[in-house]
């Protein structure tokens, strides 16, 4: 299964995301921001970093990159899409996920290992987890506070579309302790923490993040 990983100017974690896809048994395919071509991939990861230097607003410029046109079209057809950190911001800017990410509530960059609770294990990216499980994933962001209108929050909560929630102290002021969400079909997922940095207990705080990439491979095999 081919998993595309997009590189924008300022992307930091594309190689880590590609490694995670390989760990799960997938074939990682590099996708360039300026090419409106997904190169026949079966899923797409929009990785973390500081695309276009976070100018204007995190993800605001990347959302208009040529590669995002086919990403949006593929998402409409049900392709699994994962946005990590800056990738989550880009997916929100592109309208693939609701809400927005704003400056952390204490106005500091947060870098720490963060416990998350799995709230939804039926998405294309979370079936390998037990609902209610707690996983340890690195978090590193300055604009990670998830916000949305109250009716949007109510919809996300009512439809079970909160995928991950922060456990313990809220690190960034996210409403409802939301760390990650999904679209209505469970195919597009965005989260602020970095599962690609938790795929090997030797180099990360755990290998808990690997389940997301195995889940995607499972979803593609079943399709």
Instruction: Reply yes or no on whether 196 is catalytic.
Output: yes
Spot the catalytic one: 33, 58, 194, 197.
194
Among 58, 85, 93, 197, the active-site one is 85
> Smallest Cα–Cα separation from 48: which of 62, 69, 34?
62
Q: Catalytic annotation on 143?
A: no
Distance of alpha carbon 81 from the chain centroid: 8
73 is catalytic: no
Q: Considering 93, 119, 143, 196, which one is annotated as catalytic?
A: 196
DSSP assignment of 104-152 equals: -TTSS-EEEEEEEEE----STTTTTSPTT-EEEEEEEESS-EEE--HHH
Which pairing describes strands 162-166 and 178-182: parallel, antiparallel, or unpaired? antiparallel
Catalogue the active-site residues.
85, 194, 196
């Amino acid at each position: 299964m081919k998993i595309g990983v997009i590189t924008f100017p300022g992307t930091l974690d594309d190689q880590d995301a590609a490694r995670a896809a390989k760990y799960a048994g997938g074939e990682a395919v590099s996708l360039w921001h300026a090419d409106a071509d997904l190169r026949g991939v079966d899923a797409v990861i929009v990785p973390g970093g500081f695309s276009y230097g976070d100018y204007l607003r995190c993800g605001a410029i990347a959302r208009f990159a040529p590669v995002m046109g086919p990403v949006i079209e593929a998402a409409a057809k049900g392709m699994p899409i994962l946005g990590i950190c800056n990738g989550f911001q880009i997916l929100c800017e592109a309208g693939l996920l609701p809400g927005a990410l704003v400056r952390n509530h204490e106005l500091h960059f947060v870098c720490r290992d963060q416990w998350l609770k799995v709230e939804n294990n039926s998405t294309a990216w979370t079936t390998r987890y037990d609902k209610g499980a707690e996983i340890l994933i690195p978090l590193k962001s300055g604009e990670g506070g998830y916000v949305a209108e109250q009716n949007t929050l109510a919809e996300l909560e009512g439809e079970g579309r909160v995928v991950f929630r922060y456990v313990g102290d809220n690190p960034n002021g996210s409403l409802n302790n939301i760390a990650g969400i999904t679209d209505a079909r469970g195919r597009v997922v965005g989260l602020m923490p970095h599962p690609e940095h938790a795929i090997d207990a030797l180099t990360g705080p755990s290998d808990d993040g690997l389940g997301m990439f195995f889940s995607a491979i499972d979803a593609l095999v079943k399709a």
